Chains A and B, each alone.
Chain A
């Protein structure tokens, strides 16, 4: 380490994280309880099951759906959802003539309280670059063919709004209750790359 002109080999990333933790701890800045609470919250408590419950409620309750589309933040708050990356939620509705697709071209913005942390593909260069330029071709590649007479509306989460897609309720689900309907809704449908 005495010759600072020779580049050192890169430390493995896990050693870099450990080094940062060590210096924060030495300076009295590492709050272990916060670290543990954040990991617990995002690994176990938040995830697409929350968004699916919102969608199922909207499918069953027309008044709730109206509130959800008018003020997403307040309506998810009725079900107890909110917090970081959920302070301004906008819900966009799929219809027979409109299909919505969510992306963050600049980084990885995503409605954490409703969907948890984003999957790797959502944060990938191919998805971020292509979703705005050629959404129809991208969706077809990802297995979702959108008919030519349906407009795809892409939403680039570039400011504070975080988007949730409200998918169309599938046919033949008339008798199902909220829990059964929620089971039909997965993460990809609420981003807009799939349909239930």
Chain B
């Protein structure tokens, strides 16, 4: 989905700021939010892809104004509610206030399976200009852009499917190098993005 999480190349966020020493977890609830993700994975209430997508489906304003582990908390509450483990009202009653949930998944417009033969290192490819409404790991800033394959990786489960269906397909992934001029219209440093085969087509 073209969500707020897809941040590559967005402008206006300002400086990174100081990199201060910080503990692994800033508060005890962060420890538990982190570990509950493991509980959900263990019991099949989430996959890596459905977990990421539950964060992506957060209200964009909430996403931008809440901390990293609040994102995780919202995703976990959403997946627990969507699995029928607890209703939003039960969670709210226990928490003593609203427990915000992410918006429902919309899964039309998925990217279909790869239609072309595998690529090899050195191949010129173009990223398909597709805009799936569900989960995808195709960053918006490379859509429609031309690049060159620099690494061929093994087949991995396709996240676009894993987030939404029970038996997702696997496909090769590729490390693809994009020149700055292709991405940003000016000279600069190259960016490498790892892309599933279905996101790509041979460059015309």
Contacts and interface: CB of A to CB of B under 8 A. Distances in A.
Interface of A: 1, 4, 7-24, 27, 29-31, 34-36, 38-39, 42-43, 47, 88, 90, 103, 105-108, 116-117, 119-121, 123-130, 132-136, 138, 141-142, 151-161, 188, 193
Contact of B94 (A12, A13, A18): A18
Contacts of B6: 105-106
A144 to B, nearest CB: 11
A125 B13 contact: yes
B32 A106 contact: no
Which among A119, A132, A155 has the highest number of chain B CB atoms within 10 Å?
A132
Q: Is the interface of B mostly helix, strand, loop or mixed?
A: mixed
Which among A1, A129, A138, A158 has the highest number of chain B CB atoms within 10 Å?
A158
Nearest to A101: B189
B25 A19 contact: no
Contact of B85 (A29, A121, A152): A29
A21 to B, nearest CB: 6
Contacts of B25: 39, 43
A106 B195 CA distance: 13
Interface residues of B, number: 77
A110 to B, nearest CB: 12
11 contacts: A16-B77, A18-B32, A19-B95, A22-B94, A27-B85, A125-B64, A132-B191, A142-B16, A158-B137, A160-B156, A161-B151
Nearest to A29: B43
Nearest to A108: B68
A20 B88 CA distance: 10
Given A15-B94, A39-B34, A88-B153, 8 more contacts: A11-B96, A23-B91, A29-B43, A34-B42, A121-B17, A123-B68, A152-B189, A159-B173
A188 B22 CA distance: 13
B157 to A, nearest CB: 9
Nearest to A133: B9
Which among B55, B173, B188 has the highest number of chain A CB atoms within 10 Å?
B188
A43 B184 CA distance: 39
Given A120-B68, A125-B64, A158-B139, A23 B195 contact: no
B191 A15 contact: no
